[in-house]
């Protein structure tokens, strides 16, 4: 039977590449270049605007029993978008900037995934949130000002939220026929690769 856990075990190498990157190690040590960090920040804001629409489409096809977790997620995204605007203003960054290719590809993926059945969408949504939950924690405590960013996705409340997303995705996957399970596996691997490319994009600046 396919579960979120089995995806992580089977595809550990791909998931490691999604969640460990020199970009994050350099945030931990404080040696990240401001240009690299600012590029990530602006592009991730643009990413989150599209991710919010994905969350809304997920809610639209979710069973009512899953509403609580998803509505809390949407509320957290409201705060996150406002927080991104604050962080960008502090750094005098312009948010109405074109998307870079890797960001654009990820956003296209999030639009395409909305055509998939609920189970696939739920697993994709979980994987995207888990990627940041793990990536920002794995290097260990980060120096200022990056500790605030690590805290946003690494805090215990966010970790708990990601566990609830996993539970809901598993509930949907249990009922899924083999073809849907295969599609979920493909989508999970796409998330892993898109995450890796997103770090590369910022790091290449």
CB of 201 to ligand HMH, least distance (A): 9
Neighbours of 143 (CB within 10 A): 13
Residue 138 corresponds to which tokens in the numbers above? Answer: 């794995």
Which residues between 133 and 152 bind ligand HMH (CB under 6 A)? Answer: none
Which of 31, 4, 45 shows the shortest CA–CA distance to 191? 4
Residues 108 and 104: their CA atoms lie apart, in Å, by 6
Which of 18, 28, 15, 35 shows the shortest CA–CA distance to 203? 35
- Examine residue 198 and tell whether it contacts ligand HMH (CB under 6 A): yes
Stretch that binds ligand HMH, among 65-73, 125-133, 140-148, 169-177 (CB under 6 A): 125-133
Question: CB neighbours of 205 closer than 8 A, spacing ≥ 6?
Answer: 33, 35, 36, 39
- Examine residue 46 and tell whether it contacts ligand HMH (CB under 6 A): no
CB of 12 to ligand HMH, least distance (A): 19
Q: Is the dihedral of CA 148, 151, 152, 153 positive or negative?
A: positive
Q: Is the dihedral of CA 94, 138, 58, 114 positive or negative?
A: positive
In terms of C-beta density within 10 A (0-12 exposed, 13-18 middle, 19 or more buried), how is residue 150 classed?
buried
Of 128, 165, 176, 202, the residue at the interface with ligand HMH (CB under 6 A) is 128
Comparing CB distances to ligand HMH, the nearer of 75 and 182 is 75
Of 132, 136, 149, 188, the residue at the interface with ligand HMH (CB under 6 A) is 132
Comparing CB distances to ligand HMH, the nearer of 118 and 132 is 132
CB of 72 to ligand HMH, least distance (A): 14
Comparing CB distances to ligand HMH, the nearer of 41 and 61 is 41
- Examine residue 47 and tell whether it contacts ligand HMH (CB under 6 A): yes
- Examine residue 125 and tell whether it contacts ligand HMH (CB under 6 A): no
Comparing CB distances to ligand HMH, the nearer of 128 and 180 is 128
**Contact residues: ligand HMH, CB under 6 A:** 44, 47-48, 128-129, 131-132, 195, 198
């Amino acid at each position: 039977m396919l579960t979120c856990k089995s995806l992580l075990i089977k595809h550990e190498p791909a998931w490691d590449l999604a969640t460990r990157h020199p970009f994050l190690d350099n945030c931990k040590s404080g040696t990240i270049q401001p240009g690299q960090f600012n590029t990530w920040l602006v592009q991730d804001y643009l990413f989150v605007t599209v991710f919010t629409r994905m969350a809304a489409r997920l809610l639209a096809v979710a069973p009512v029993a899953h509403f609580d977790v998803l509505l809390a997620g949407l509320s957290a995204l409201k705060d996150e978008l406002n927080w991104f605007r604050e962080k960008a203003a502090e750094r005098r960054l312009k948010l109405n900037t074109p998307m870079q290719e890797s960001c654009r590809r990820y956003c296209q993926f999030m639009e395409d995934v909305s055509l998939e059945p609920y189970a696939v969408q739920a697993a994709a949504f979980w994987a995207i949130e888990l990627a940041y939950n793990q990536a920002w924690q794995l290097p260990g405590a980060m120096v200022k000002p990056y500790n605030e960013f690590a805290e946003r996705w690494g805090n215990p409340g966010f970790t708990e939220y990601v566990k609830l997303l996993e539970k809901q995705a598993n509930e949907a996957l249990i009922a899924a026929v083999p073809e849907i399970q295969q599609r979920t596996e493909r989508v999970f691997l796409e998330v892993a690769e898109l995450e890796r490319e997103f770090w590369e994009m910022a790091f290449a600046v």
